[in-house]
Amino acid sequence: MAFISSGYNPDKPMENRITDIGPKHYSEFLPPVIKNNRGKWLWHEILEPGVLMHKAESGDEVYTVRAGAPRIMSVETLREALDIADKHCDGYLRFTTRNNIEFMVDSKDKVGPLKDDLNSRKHTGGSFKFPVGGTGAGITNIVHTQGWIHCHTPATDASGTVKVVLDDLFEEFQQMRMPAQIRISMACCLNMCGAVHCSDIAILGYHRKPPIIDHKEVDNLCEIPLAIAACPTAAIRPAKVELDDPKTGEKKSYKTVAIKNERCMFCGNCYTMCPALPLTDAKGDGLVIMAGGKVSNRISNPKFSKVVVAFIPNETPRWPTLAKTIRKIVEAYAKGARKYERVGDWAERIGWERFFEACDLEFTHHLIDDFRDPAYYTWRQTTNFKF
Amino acid sequence: MPKHETPLLDQLESGPWPSFVSDLKRQSESRHAKENEIEYQVPVDVCDDLLGVVELSYKEKEVHWKHGGIVGVFGYGGGVIGRYCDQPDQFPGVAHFHTMRVNQPSAKFYNTEFLRNICDLWDFRGSGITNMHGSTGDIVLLGTRTEQLEEIFFELTHKFNTDLGGSGSNLRTPEACLGISRCEWACYDSQELCHHLTLAYQDELHRPAFPYKFKFKFDGCPNGCVASIARSDLSFIGTWRDEIRIDQEAVAAYVGGEIKPNGGAHAGKDWGPFDIQKEVIGLCPTECMWMEGGNLKINDKECTRCMHCLNVMPRALRIGNDRGLSILAGAKAPILDGAQMGSLLVPFVKAEEPYEEIHELIENVWDWWMEEGKNRERLGETMKRMGFQKLLEVTGIKPMPQHVQEPRTNPYIFWKEEEVPGGFERDIADYRSRHQK
């Protein structure tokens, strides 16, 4: 493995350096039918699950075939997507906010071969590479975070939990029988890289044990005042402990921190500031399920997701309880909600007491908010409730 | 023979949804197959060791990546996230496994030539594993070694005319919906405004000078396809302030069942014949629609532009002509003080080049937040701590009922001295001349 230079000279880093140029202008990447009709679209229609047609004032039509893809993607698979775009779409494609790939063609007769091509490609293990779907009143791709593949704070894996849930709900990705779209999101810790806090259904990794304090390392690895300031509940204070010095065998006083465990909300913010305070724990870590959030302003205001299941353990590799619980929510919603009603709108209409009944979920004390002032506004201040 | 046995991960190869495990194995096989052709710049078995360390996490149910560590490219304070494995002896191929964020072109349209170049670069100088895309919107390149960072940056900028995205306490890579490129509902050119501001604020994007991260996101309409209202410190959402354009013939076609409602989005179930009264007029949150002599009428003054009627009847109803955007401030995920939705700051502004009013607003917000914001405090938290009035004051925006869901329920108004005639300084002797002790 010989090092091959790009032309960069480490002795003169500023030589020919190019910085702050930003991304390329998007106009270089627009398919001709898009470029020609930009700003002049009249209406659209979903011809079948996964296939959209947009009509322009000029009479032009663009047909979009949407395919699911995992967020983790190798360049080998990406190159295959590019081959498909070269073969069918004059060398253009785009990605959606929810990690789907959109292949666009300018006439209807090109849709069938493109769709067949996408659906025909499978991995050696048998899964689809580019399944067509993810439109309309159905379940599209789950946006997610890194998990055990690449992050330092996760309480679960992201790609794995998403894979098992989408395996279970796969037919919903390929059809449109729901009252409205169901947006599912996954975040592997409370940092929530992604909008899981406003999703119809959210899967969230959660720690349940306070940090382990690596007393001998706290002062070496961390700025103690920053670790203290990082705690949202002021559970961390400076401390000194007497421990054996590994070099001398004598007692030595170490500058460290003490944590009031009963105040810890397990957010991991201290760990982000101080690597000597790890949280991860096989028995402590697992999943929370939230429901009823949305970002659209349609009919009702955007709303946050609510915690509906306080804890599901990390049942690797296929998280059966997670998949089963989400399936229960989806089926109850499909059965009970009115056309156009999102999960949160449905829950609010029937009442949350009915939501738990309909979804066959247990209501436990964990689901009652006790975090600061907003908690009060979630308690029931009326006699209007259902038995 | 694979380098590591992965019996747990192997169970994620079955099932219809694309398997990331199969994909990682595919990349591993490709690297070994081309070992003699390509002078890989990171270990050839990087994907094998990635599978190995993830299998270990599946077995132990604990993560094996360490904290970041400070790595980056010269002169930038963002765009690279350091990552090291905590079992480097077992998995040397991923001992160093840094992430690079590449700023995506606005709304993620690509030609295959550009992405092939990225693939070739990343195959050669990295693991070949990507995220298309990360949650914020970047092309995420997962896994390379420190000595490759400058080389990759050099090739990105010199050969492919593209740049890194943001990370850390700086402006994060802005993201837009596809807007007018392929959507009839886009009320402004979200892609162009996103691109314009990304270029205008390259310094803020690459050199951390903020209390914490700061995000811009651009939604062309209130449907919010990039979720700006939930996850961006400044959220730009398209809107209009004149009348919804109505094609009465198309309305009749919907009523007559000739056109499927909602663009055919509900085709998978028999919901019965379309009922405009129940499905559109009855669901209008402001009750500002009615039928009159076979025509649909809208009292546009009362409309809040929630998009429902347009979504249901895209061929009959179109956005108004007097278009612009609303700006909402302070959205964020729960860390630390609970989740916050964006709060309406600017009800309407035209989105026209050179976007002077938008620049002025952004810079006023930044000046205030950089002065007052605490370390690791998002804009929304500064707003909560200091009050929405303060934000209006520093941005020079006149308070109006549109800014609130409802007026305050407590009368604890922090009157300012200059608002009260005579000020706060009073003479006790004068008071006592009128009131005995």
Give A226-265 pLDDT, tens digit per residue.
999 989 899 999 999 999 988 888 999 999 999 999 999 9
pLDDT value at residue A373: 82
- What distance in Å separates residue B386's CA from the closest CA in chain A? 16
**Chain B residue whose CA is closest to A197:** B333
- B227 interfacial to chain A (CB closer than 8 Å): yes
For residues B302 and B289, what is the distance between their CA atoms, to the nearest angstrom?
A: 9
Q: Does B245 touch chain A if contact means CB atoms closer than 8 Å?
A: no
Residues of A with CB below 8 A from B65's CB? 148, 150-152
Put simply, the answer to whether B229 touches A297 (Cβ < 8 Å) is: yes
For residue A317, list chain B residues with Cβ-Cβ distance below 8 A: 8-9, 11-12, 58
Q: Which residues of A touch B64 (CB under 8 A)?
A: 148
Within 8 A of A23 by CB-CB distance, chain B residues are 103-106, 162-163, 195, 198
CA distance B152 to B382: 37
Give Cα separations from B210 to A230, B14, B373, B413 (angstroms): 17, 46, 9, 31
> Inter-chain contact A46–B263, Cβ cutoff 8 Å?
yes
Across-strand partners of A93? Answer: B110
Q: Does B105 touch chain A (CB under 8 A)?
A: yes
Give the gap in angstroms from C-alpha A219 to the nearest C-alpha of chain B: 16
User: Distance between CA A103 and CA A117 in Å, rounded?
Assistant: 11
What single DSSP character describes residue B285? Answer: T
Nearest chain A Cα distance for residue B198, angstroms: 7
B-chain CB neighbours of A64 within 8 Å are 182
B283 close contact with A: CB closer than 8 A: yes
Contact call for B65 and A151, based on CB within 8 A: yes
Closest Cβ–Cβ partner in A8, A177, A316 for B58: A316
Complete DSSP assignment for B63-120? --B----S---TT-SSSEE--BBS-TTT-GGGSB--EEEEPPPGGGEEEHHHHHHHHH
- B229 in A contact zone (CB under 8 Å): yes
Four-CA torsion B323, B329, B335, B339, nearest 10 degrees: -70
Exposure class string for B378-399: b at 16+ Cβ within 10 A, else e? bbbbbbbebebeebeebbebee
> For tokens 């066959």, what's the residue?
A360
| Residue count of chain A | 387
B155 shares contact with chain A (CB less than 8 Å): yes
Q: Taking a contact as any Cβ pair under 8 Å apart, which residues of chain B between 161 and 190 contact chain A?
A: 161-163, 175, 177-178, 180-184, 186, 189
pLDDT of residue A194: 66
Kindly list the residues from chain B whose CB atom is less than 8 angstroms away from the CB atom of residue A76: 23, 26-27, 30, 128
CB contact under 8 A, A22 and B123: no
d(CA A363, CA A352): 10
Which residues of chain A fall below pLDDT 50?
A: none
For chain B, which ranges sit under pLDDT 50?
none
Query: What is the per-residue burial (b if ≥16 Cβ within 10 Å, else e) of A30-65?
Result: bbebbeebbeebbbbbbbbbbbbbbbbeeebbbbbb
Which position has the token pair 């005042």?
A: A225
Is the whole model's pTM more than 0.90, yes or no?
A: yes
Q: Give B 354-393 residues with CB within 8 A of chain A.
A: 375-376
User: Is B83 in CB contact (< 8 Å) with chain A?
Assistant: yes
Question: Are B15 and A163 a contacting pair at CB < 8 A?
Answer: yes
Q: Which of B195, B175, B192 has its CA nearest to residue B235?
A: B175
Determine contact, residues A60/A41, Cβ cutoff 8 Å. no
